[in-house]
Amino acid sequence: MWPILTEAEIDRARPYGRTRRTELGEILYRPGEVGRPCFLVLSGYLEIVQPTVYGERLVAHMCAGMFTGEAGSIAGQRTVVQGRVIEAGEILEIRPDELRALVARDAGLSETLLRAFMLRRLMLINRQLGNVCVIGSRHSSDTLRIREFLARNGHPYTFIDLDADDTARDLLDRFSIAISEVPIVIGNGTMVLRNPTTSQLADCLGLNDNIHTGLLHDLIIVGAGPAGLAAAVYGASEGLDTLLIESHAPGGQAGSSSKIENYLGFATGVSGQDLATNATKQAQKFGAKMALARAIVELRCHRRPYELVRDDGTVFFGRTIVIATGARYNKPAAVPLDRYAGRGVHYGATYIEAQLCEHEEVIVVGGGNSAGQAVVYLSQTARKVYMLVRACDLAESMSRYLIQRISGNPSIELLCNSELCGLEGENILEKVSWIDKLTGQVRSVPTRHLFIMTGASPNTDWLQGSVALDEKGFILTGRDLPAAIDPARNSTWPISRSPFMLESSLPGVFAVGDVRAGSVKRVASAVGEGSTSVSLVHRALAEL
């Protein structure tokens, strides 16, 4: 985490920065500042601290050969700690664009820097040394939303639980803060937000500070699941001006998976969060830009370059587009799920949800791999996990290794031929009922946590009328397009060649991952499609 570079390594870094003297007590950067350089200490000492309302918390001391920065440095995001000179000397200043050039061109230094940056970000998260404090209740859906957004985006924060901290609760009461205004988010010791939207929080934290509108991009990727992230890594690494747009957080549906054990190269498994975090930093290392917490609501396709419109009215221009918006879990219509969303009903099983379920009974609905991974993961903290499956068994929908783990776990009760039929509770979920389709028997259990992982519908509402979709709303591509079978059935295909594999009914617009009709719903398949799409993007760009 805190390596000391050799003289030879320092000499390799010198062409990417400039040397200057430092003064005792000089502040090199403060929390919340944008675009600060990476500082390589040549002589003297630095002190890295986290300012808090209770004083400063020491993060590290730095001597000659050590360097500042963490994962946000590569992305050009705001700093979360403070760097101060405690002994005058010399430093090498390396600006963010120069740092990215160094990482891209020097493999040895790249490994040292990226490993240290990633480990430092993990340390900040684990020690709650971020520049954000969230004050809320673990029973509040908005508190859970904010915590999940910060966690999924790898942003360190401190959480104060109003249900356990009487002092914090009394303080909010004295300031007449209503329940609807919880959670309170405090950033950099100055910014105070009352129950912010995720887009407001992202803007205030500067997660989109390096995104500029009005520019023309070679490639715009919509959706940062495994397929979109793979496209971003390959697009940026091959020199394309690449912009990745994500409405929530990197990782998509896979990002909420507790552990993926059948992904090539990870014998002991990898969590969806770790996979997404590493892929994000890899894309940013090659220069890909990422816009967070804003959804694309319209694709304007009447001319090229294509225009993508965000929910705030911002327009992005792209020569080519890769759509990787994935799919969302279907909601059983027989029960009022929306009433308890975030207040007992969950659509992902991450570390946060697992802690909420500690020593309690929980229910997971679904029979696919995501449901199986959630059941196994939650059984580590929950007292008991009920798994409700509509089918008569799991053989057709789940990998065998997961079936074996479920059947051999005494904390899991598998209930096939079962469907939800009732939810009860005043402000939060308190009881869940289901029916056995074979016997008609209804069973109820008291629980505060229900996980829905049933089927999937594509996130293509914003594409209606723009590209050809199948009857379920998935994007038709390549040979599945009517134009590829019978040109007379689709007179709008404007060029003489047939659509490329993965190409939609719009030339230069590709679909990858779960959103594509006929795709294999596996992480490895999505990654493969995302990386393959970039070779097709190059061919489409060559036509312009």
Chunk the chain into consecutive blocks of 10 residues (it has 544) and report each block's average pLDDT, rounded to whole numbers: 95 96 94 88 94 81 95 80 95 91 89 90 82 85 90 86 79 76 82 90 85 91 96 96 94 80 85 89 91 92 93 94 92 87 86 88 93 93 95 89 92 95 92 95 95 90 92 92 53 80 95 94 92 97 93
Q: Which CATH architecture has domain 132-205?
A: 3-Layer(aba) Sandwich (3.40)
pLDDT at 441: 95
Answer whether CATH 3.40.50.261 is correct for domain 330-455: no
Q: Which amino acid is at 93?
A: E
Distance CA 289, CA 97 (A): 12
Structure tokens at 462: 């914003």
* DSSP SS3 for 120: helix
* pLDDT value of position 495: 86
b/e sequence 413-443, b meaning 16+ C-beta within 10 Å? bbebebbbeebebeeebeebebbeeeeeeee
Would you give the end-to-end CA distance of the chain in angstroms? Answer: 46
Identify the pLDDT of residue 33.
86
Residues 133, 158: Cα–Cα separation, whole Å:
5
φ, ψ for residue 207 (rounded to 5)?
A: -70, -20
d(CA 81, CA 29): 8
Asked if the domains at 132-205 and 330-455 fall in one CATH topology, the answer is: no
Q: Which two tokens stand for residue 326?
A: 């994935």
Other CB atoms within a 10 A radius of the CB of residue 144 amount to 21
Residue 484 has a pLDDT of 45
Pick the CATH number of 216-326+459-476+509-542 from 3.40.50.970, 2.60.40.1510, 3.50.50.60, 2.60.40.10: 3.50.50.60
Residue type, 43: S
Domain boundaries, the chain: 7-125, 132-205, 216-326+459-476+509-542, 330-455
Q: Which long-range contacts (CB under 8 A, 24 or more apart) does 428-435 make?
A: 428/139, 428/340, 428/343, 428/344, 429/340, 429/343, 429/344, 429/345, 430/344, 432/363, 434/363, 434/388
pTM of the predicted structure, to 2 decimals = 0.80
Structure tokens of 323?
């759509």
Residue 158 · residue 130 · CB < 8 Å:
yes
Q: What is the pLDDT of residue 155?
A: 86
What's the rounded Cα separation, in Å, for the pair 273 and 528? Answer: 19
Q: Which CATH class is domain 7-125?
A: mainly beta
pLDDT of residue 261: 81
The pLDDT score that the predictor gives to residue 445 is 95
As a whole number of angstroms, the distance between CA 82 and CA 33 comes to: 10
